[in-house]
Amino acid sequence: MSYEVVCGIETHIELNTDTKIFCNCTTAFGGDPNTHCCPVCTGQPGSLPVLNKKVVEYAVRAGLAVNCKVNTISHMDRKNYVYPDLPKAYQISQYDEPLCENGYIILDSGKRIGITRIHIEEDAGKLIHEDGYTYIDYNRGGVPLIEIVSEPDISSPEEAKEYAEKLQLIMRYVGISDCKMQEGSMRCDVNVSLRKFGSNEFGTRTETKNINSLNFIQKAMYAEIERQTDILDAGGTITQDTMRYDDVTDTISPMREKENSDDYRYFPDPDIIRFEVPQAKIDEIKASLPELPFDKLKRYIDGLELPEMTAKHMYRYRKVCEFFEEALKLGAGVKNASNLITGTIYATLDTEEDKENFEIKVSPSQFAELVKLLDEKKINFKMAQTTLQEMLVSGNPASNYIKAEDMEGVSDDEITKFCQEAIDANPKAVEDIKSGKDKAINVMFGYIMKQTKGKADVKKAEAIIRDLISKM
Amino acid sequence: MREIISELSKKLHSGEVSSVELTSEYIKAVEEANPKYNAIVHTTFEAALEHAEAADEMLKEGNADTLCGIPMVMKDNICTDGLLTTCCSNVLKGFKPYYDATVWEKLKEKGAVLLGKANMDEFAMGSTSESSCYGAPFNPRNTGHVTGGSSGGAAAAVTANMAAYALGSDTGGSVRQPAAYCGIVGLKPTYGSVSRYGLIAYGSSLDQIGPLTYSVKDAAIVFDAIKGFDRRDQTSKAFDYGNILDYLDRDIKGVKIGIAEEFFDGIDPDMKTQIFDAVKLFEKNGAEIVDIKLPALKSALPVYYIIACAEASSNLGRYDGIRYGHRTGSYDSIDDMIYKTRSEGFGAEVKRRIMLGTYVLSSGYYDAYYKKACVIREEIRREFDETYEKCDILIAPIAPTTAPVLNFKGLSSVEMYLSDICTVPINIAGIPSISVPCGIDKKGLPIGMQIMGKRFDDAKVLNMAYFYEQNSKDWAGNFEGGVRI
């Protein structure tokens, strides 16, 4: 029997504010255990939380980026539960009045995935299990999070992955988080249920928690759909479990059974008074939002007339786009600049993360200077590439590698001279060309380039060679 | 009238006595009297002498604060860096915080000398201080009677001249009621006027730190020193009180005193008489009496117990044996460890309130109890606001009776809760209130009068209390024993 997949995703994103949500401790990742801590973030008796304004601003930014309505009046709630990584025995979160509501993301297919709500909360500490003991590191405790809850609008693992990917992209763009799934600054809980086609009722859902890669979202969902299908086909019923996905074995299994629905005893946190986000502030944040990724992609293709492939290779990485656009502003031409970025520069950036971080030694102005030489045909593409490679290693400007006389190009007489020399030195190649083996011409190019140190115009050289041969 | 702080301050500033000498006297007094009253549970004599030495330096330099060099005690729920702070609970036995409460930070800066931490009801839950894990303190006026609670140790220490003043905390009357039972002054300031940072929470939306002193002027001096906005406490407010001490001598002519019958329901008749005598004194001096209706008061007690217990159940979740304080000796699993730690660590009253609070916040009961309580809380606040359009201050008793006898098992929990009936509405409304001695009952026990004002009208409340104190009999009287300088 075939089923319809109903999926909603809860995404936790760590905000990259400098300080924690309720105190002045640093949010820096890592550090020796319990060194980024104070009485507040470790929940010491008597300590009190003070809400970080930046956190509210960042959450509003996130909300506006995914088309949410921002509530001007909001408050924090206590979510009471006992777990050693939660020092106060409650998490300060938002329950019935989240900061942002009713947003959406549009998938490539045009399908709209609703966003129910975005609320702010604090992260918990980390448990480290070693030699039969459990140690607790509260460095992460109190790091600000937003939780983005989607509507159950997602109908396939592919859609789930695309949704998460788009969310990640948008959040990186608006600068509120680096969304590094492998470092846990973005984590997804995927809720999946199946129902027969045509049915309006939801099936029982399971929740696969803390997925830390985009690919695992897809894989975990496939595994869970398969598991639920098998159970339903055999006439069984799904129990409301929390699942764990093992990426090594690509299997999914129940983590613990939810015996009762958890009673978190939410109530408004009396230590934090209700807060207001004035409409003027919301408008101000809205005006400060950068161009969002999909608008940028469209502009690159339609406005800058970049080939779709090139545009897609660039728009995903905020820093790449910033670099590119800065170079354009400084006078670099679109075509050469984008080709050099996605060709030569990307060749030195192996992973997605490298491109994301985009830490290169060349400044936009140095890059623009080089591209302009190319645009003005003072150097050819080959030379631009070689020069850029040198620049990327050393961080020196283009002028260090291109001498003034190099830029003067090669005169027609000189080229003709070198072409004649090439023909004279390669009688076999000449024969080959005459008999239709066109590739043989490359032998001559090699010679000419060597003599002109790469400065010769290949097209011109080709025309001259063919002319000379035809006259033989 | 013994204005202990002013008297001692004069002597310290004139050089008649040094803070080290004074502190040594107080240490002697504590050593002598404490076995009798069990008022102080952790002495900090070593630190006190260090504080005294520092104070003497400040005094020598001149420009020292009134409180400089004066020994005091703090309730055991106010955090002191490196010094025991246990909330008189087994679960926090041995706990030394690694930071100072804002109030203590402020006092330390002014050269205060801390003699020790005062006995209290466990986690400030109770009206007699009998729920302390160190045993109850005894009322210096009559050791067969309770000191009141929860700041009972603080009240006893001040009453018996073991400390010049004390800081307590008042969630539902815990400063005012023991002050009344012991015949001294207790001030619960406006919610938000004194930072709660470092006060180990019981009911966060109700808790307020306040001074216990021998006289009203002393209370004003201490309040003046600890009040003020604190960026570490989001519920604290920046309010400009001006010079509070200048306010004490103001004329009371034309002040409208509200009397709400609801406060006097079921009150001991002798007590009622004494309080009305006090009201007559005000009237004779130009105050006007206004009859007030406060019908919402009848809901105050259940609202208080629902909100305070709900908040307490959440605030006390962190005592699980993992990070600090008591941990059970043997256990099979982490759940078992937490279960046993809490079973052993908390006393009966605390457990009762945690369970009550957990219950009223549970899904299915939240709307019926907690949410409804919040709605009524707003009604009570509104009623007080409306009342203060008709009058400037309210006068009422502190408790239905004077201090009950110790170990009186006849009282059920509910009956004990009923004794808070006059004090809890003030915490619900967040308004300031002071307890001033206004008589002695037939058993020779002190009677307290409560004077309440509108939010941030603390100075007016002190003004009225001061007027009464200056123009009536010295009800507090001189206590035999303790430091007599």
Q: Distances in Å between the alpha carbon of B38 and those of A283, A306, B32, B153, B457?
A: 61, 84, 11, 7, 35
* B233 touching chain A per CB within 8 A: yes
Write the DSSP assignment of A406-443 as a string of letters: GGG---HHHHHHHHHHHHHH-HHHHHHHHTT-GGGHHH
Query: Does residue B20 sit in helix, strand or coil?
Result: helix
Q: Give pLDDT, residue A446.
A: 82
By annotation, the residues of B acting in catalysis are 75, 150, 174
Question: Looking at the DSSP assignment, which residues form a beta bridge with residue B436?
Answer: B449
What the block records as the tokens of A138 is 């509260």
Across chain A, mean pLDDT equals 91
Q: What is the mean pLDDT of chain B?
A: 95
Which of A221, A252, A282 represents a domain boundary (last residue)?
A: A282
pLDDT of res. A260: 54
Per-residue pLDDT at B34: 97
Q: What is the pTM of this model?
A: 0.89
Chain B residues in contact with A51 by the CB 8 A cut-off are 234
Q: What is the pLDDT of residues B7-41, one digit of tens each?
A: 999 999 999 999 999 999 999 999 999 999 999 99
Closest residue in B to A52 (Cα–Cα): B234
Q: Which helix (H) or strand (E) holds A393?
A: helix A381-394
Judged by DSSP in three states, B178 sits in helix
Q: B108 CB contacts (<8 Å, ≥6 apart)? A: B51, B100
d(CA A2, CA A20): 47
- Nearest CA to B452 among B188, B148, B166? B188
pLDDT of residue B74: 98
| The two three-digit tokens of residue A87, written as one number | 């020092």
pLDDT exceeds cutoff 70 at A258: no
Token representation of residue A97: 């009045």
Number of H helices, E strands in chain A: 16, 16
DSSP state of B406: T
Identify the pLDDT of residue B90.
98
- Please provide the DSSP assignment of B215-234 as one string: SHHHHHHHHHHHBS--TT-T
Task: Verify cis geometry, omega within 30 degrees of 0, for the bond prior to B131.
Answer: no
**B338–chain A Cβ distance below 8 A for any pair:** yes
A136 shares its domain with A199: yes
Scan residues 30-69 of A and list those with Cβ closer than 8 Å to B: 39-40, 42-51
Cβ-based contacts of A80 with chain B (< 8 Å): 313-314, 317, 361
The reply to whether B230 falls in a domain is yes
What's residue A465's pLDDT? Answer: 85
Token readout for B163 is 């400390």
CATH number at residue A435: 1.10.10.410
Average pLDDT (B456-480) is: 91
Tell me, yes or no, whether B125 lies in a domain: yes
- Amino acid identity for residue B169 in this structure: S
CB contact under 8 A, A89 and B234: no
Q: Are B363 and A263 within 8 A, CB to CB?
A: yes
Has the ipTM of the complex gone over 0.85?
Answer: yes
Indicate the pairing of strand A126-130 with strand B393-397: unpaired
Stretch 276-295 of chain B: residues touching chain A, C-beta under 8 Å: none
Mutation test of the interface with chain A: which of B103, B229, B237, B322, choosing the one with the most A Cβ atoms within 10 A?
B322
pLDDT tens-digit map of A47-88: 999 999 999 999 999 999 999 999 999 999 999 999 999 999
**Residue A161 in this model has a pLDDT that exceeds 80:** yes
Q: Is the pLDDT of residue A371 over 70?
A: yes
Interchain proximity B200–A46, CB inside 8 Å: yes
B260 bridge partner residues: B292
Q: What is the per-residue pLDDT across A398-411, written as a single tens digit (0 to 9) for each?
A: 888 877 556 556 67
> Given this model, what pLDDT does residue B35 score?
97
How many structural domains is chain A composed of?
Answer: 3
Q: Are B97 and A273 an interchain contact pair (Cβ–Cβ within 8 Å)?
A: no
Please indicate if any CB of chain B lies within 8 Å of the CB of A316: no
Interface contacts A/B by beta carbons within 8 Å: 99
Cα gap A124→A139, rounded to integer Å: 9
Cβ atoms of B131 and B350 closer than 8 Å:
yes
pLDDT at position A435 is 83
**Would an 8 Å CB–CB cutoff place B78 in contact with chain A?**
yes
A273 and A306 co-located in one domain: no
Percentage of the residues of chain A whose pLDDT score is greater than 70: 97
DSSP B251-319: --TTPEEEEEGGGGTT--HHHHHHHHHHHHHHHHTT-EEEEE--GGGGGHHHHHHHHHHHHHHHHGGG-
List CB contacts (< 8 A) between A89 and chain B: 314, 317-318, 320
CB-based contact A43 B366, cutoff 8 Å: no
Q: Do A89 and B322 touch (CB under 8 A)?
A: no
pLDDT band of B485, cuts 50, 70, 90 = low
pLDDT digits (tens, 9 = 90+) for A99-150: 999 999 999 999 999 999 999 999 999 999 999 888 999 999 999 999 999 9
On whether residue B39 sits in a domain, the answer given is: yes
- Whether chain B has a CB inside 8 Å of the CB on A267: the answer is yes
- The total domain count for chain B is 1
Pick the range with the lowest mean pLDDT from A62-71, A126-135, A158-167, A434-443.
A434-443
Among B233, B234, B314, the residue with its CB nearest the CB of A51 is: B234
pLDDT tens digits, B179-215: 999 999 999 999 999 999 999 999 999 999 999 999 9
- Using the 3D structure, point to which of A407, A422, A449 is the last residue of a domain: A407
A205 shares a domain with A66: yes
Shared domain for A84 and A44, answered yes or no, is yes
On whether both A357 and A325 belong to a single domain, the answer is yes
What is the spatial distance between Cα B135 and Cα B53, in angstroms, rounded to a whole number? 33
Q: Say if residue A330 is in the same domain as residue A467.
A: no
Residues A218 and A325 in one domain: no
Can you give the residue range of the structural domain that contains B129? Answer: 5-248
**Can you tell me the mean pLDDT for A16-22?**
97
What does the pLDDT read at residue B219? Answer: 98
At B17 the pLDDT is: 97
* b (16+ CB within 10 A) / e for A172-190: bbbebbbbbbeebbbbbbb
- Strand B256-260 to strand B288-292: parallel, antiparallel, or no bridges (unpaired)? parallel
What whole-number distance in Å separates Cα of residue B169 and Cα of residue B160? Answer: 19
pLDDT over 80 at B476, yes or no:
no
Q: What is the DSSP letter of B91?
A: G
B203 occurs within a structural domain: yes
Instruction: Among A78, A84, A87, select the one facing B314 at the smallest CB separation.
Output: A78
Strand order in the sheet with B165-169: B40-43, B113-118, B71-75, B165-169, B209-213, B185-188, B433-440, B446-452, B393-397, B256-260, B288-292
B360 Rama sector, left if φ>0, alpha if ψ -120 to 50, beta otherwise? alpha
Contacts of B239 (CB under 8 A, 6+ apart): B190, B192, B193, B229, B456
B362 contact residues in A (CB cutoff 8 A): 263, 265
Band (pLDDT 50/70/90 cuts) for residue B416 is confident
Distance of alpha carbon B300 from its chain centroid, rounded? Answer: 19
Query: Please, what is the Cα angle at A43 between A39 and A48, to 5 degrees?
Result: 70
- The answer to whether the CB atoms of A271 and B101 lie below 8 A apart is no
pLDDT at A198: 84
Query: What confidence tens digit (pLDDT) does each residue in A213-230 have?
Result: 999 999 999 999 999 999
Q: Is residue B405 part of a domain?
A: no
Q: Are B143 and B37 in contact (CB under 8 A)?
A: yes
DSSP letter, residue B90: G
Same domain, A35 and A102: yes
Residue A20 contacts B where some CB pair is shorter than 8 Å:
no
Say whether A50 and B99 touch across the interface (CB within 8 A): no
**Claim to verify: residue A143 and residue A188 sit in the same structural domain:** yes
Domain identity same for A327 and A439: no
Show residues of chain A in contact with B208, CB under 8 Å.
Answer: none
Which of A255, A282, A309 finishes a domain? A282
Q: Where does the pLDDT of residue B409 fall: very low under 50, low under 70, confident under 90, or very high at 90 and above?
A: low
Q: In chain B, which residue's Cα lies nearest the Cα of A92?
A: B314
CB of A272 within 8 Å of a chain B CB? The answer is yes
Residue B280 has pLDDT above 60, yes or no: yes
Write out the residue range of the structural domain in which residue A340 sits.
Answer: 291-407
- Is the CB of residue B92 less than 8 Å away from at least one CB of chain A? yes
In the 8-state DSSP scheme, what is residue B200?
P
Question: Of A141-145, A459-463, B64-68, B439-443, where does mean pLDDT reach its minimum?
Answer: A459-463
CATH number at residue B193: 3.90.1300.10
What's the Rg (C-alpha) of chain B?
21
Q: What is the pLDDT of residue A376?
A: 86
Whether B100 is in a domain gets the answer yes
Smallest Cβ–Cβ distance between A45 and the set B97, B314, B370 belongs to: B97
Return residues 131-190 of A near B (CB < 8 Å). 134, 136
Tokens 């009397």, located at residue: B259
